Structure 1
Amino acid sequence: MRAIGPLTLLCMALAGMALAEAPITSPHPLPRPIIAQPETPVAAPILRPRHRPTILAAVPPIASEPAPQQALPEITAVAPLPRPQPRPKGLQVQVEQVAMAQPEPEAAPSRTSKKESRKGSVCGDPAIRGQDLPPVTSRTKGCGITEPVRVTAIDGIPFSQPATIDCDTAIALKRWMREGMAPAFGNREVVQLHIFGSYMCRSRNNVRGAKISEHGRGKAVDIAGFIFSDGKEWTVARDYNKQIRRAQKAACGIFGTTLGPGSDGYHEDHLHFDTAERRGSAYCR
């Protein structure tokens, strides 16, 4: 044991290493992982032009014809224009004097305004408002109106109820309202006329066997009162004062008959006006 030297030990160690098991195969590197690449878009096929049909190729091209040239008009010599003469001295002053001496022309009346003013009027008078009615007939002899009108206002003053009368009576009533009623009341402005009665086929004063009243002919109107702009009302039955008496008196001559309180006992609460034709002077009581 002692004879074994260091050299022997070295050899034994090398031999043991040689006896160690060697690997069967050499290790190879692992394959590189596959990374998905984006898909490359497929380009669309390029369309190529098709061959021209044989028929079109045989047709010859149409040659454009040049536009015909128009003959230019011959240039004629232009006669020289006469030059204006110098203005006479003082002409402007004369023109202004003539213009000042002439009156200004009046504006022609508008046809439209004339038609509008007559719309809704009767008897050919724009101041008399109402409507035309068909002829009024009656079985009673003496009653009826050939050309009746239904008057609702005169001169902008409305009636308490429409008055069915003829145009002669309507025109007389308008004249009385202007020349008799308005001056009699002075500063008191009438805004409504209280109509007591108009057309009615009856005898005078409703007396049996008497003649037909002018009411039955459309020639009479009864007035019972007046309403003023301050809201006050005067009636013939309650306020038969001097102003109403003055208005009644002014109706005499405009109407053929004028009756009121104290005349015959039948007109104590109203004024009766009619356009009856009378021989001589009017009948006023």
Structure 2
Amino acid sequence: MIWVAATLIAAIAQTGRNAAQAGLGARVGTVGATSVRFIFGLPFAALFLLLLSPFTEIPRPNAAVLGFTAMGAGAQIAATAFMLLTMRGQSFGVATALMKTEPVTLALIGAVILSEPLGAGRLGAIGLATLGVVLSSGAKWSRAGLVPIANGIAAGALFGLSAIGFRGALLALPEGGYFIHALTVLVLTLTIQSAAMLTWMLAADRRALRGIMGEWRVSMAAGALGAFASLFWFIGFALTPAANVRTLALIEVVFAQVVSGRILRETTGRLQLAGMALIVIGVGWLLVVAAG
């Protein structure tokens, strides 16, 4: 199953992009650090599409493609804003866990907007893996406030809406294979997002714009990794419902826990171990359902 390999590649590349962006926030601000994935990712995606153009026909986006892409691009920017809000206060773990409920909202939104079947097996697998993430997060639910919870739910729902927008755009393209579809929608998405972020920074945050230009080496690395990760996310979205892709991606939580335990020597509690087990079972269940 190509979508499985594409999802795992995307998750690994996204981890690299996050590492590249890690120190940017303190130097260029949150808006600047967020924008580099779009602004510096666009040249790489556009160049790749240009290089492929002599060898394959580039699909022509219609009104439906543009509408779905704009919805996905806008929802992703808004989701990122809510995600940044969750990083404040003592309820970070709670809000982060709630953001990982994205596969559930994805399945529900996909059923409504794209008429994708839910199915008891698929819903059960998604729910089990999502519960595993919540348990393995180690969140202190007793300290949770309504605002962090609301921000986390909003971020998860908006990330889900963005993925539905991207899948809708991919399905609406009239001709071509899944790879050229993914690359075309990626270029459209990054163009919209770059234009929006540049407009905002020129109007309200020129310091951030000067900052990312001054940090161009790190920004280029983050942009290249971000574009690479997004391309493989879109390949996954082109081949299977977005909820399947995002549920499989939850396996990165297990990888992160293993790394933190083996390399950083951090202890893992019983509840976290139970959560990791539920993630593995849920992802395995989903793969069986998808294969059938």
Task: State if a TM-score over 0.5 links the two structures.
Answer: no
TM-score normalized by the length of structure 1: 0.22
TM-score normalized by the length of structure 2: 0.21
**Structure (1 or 2) with the greater strand fraction:** 1
Structure label with greater radius of gyration: 1
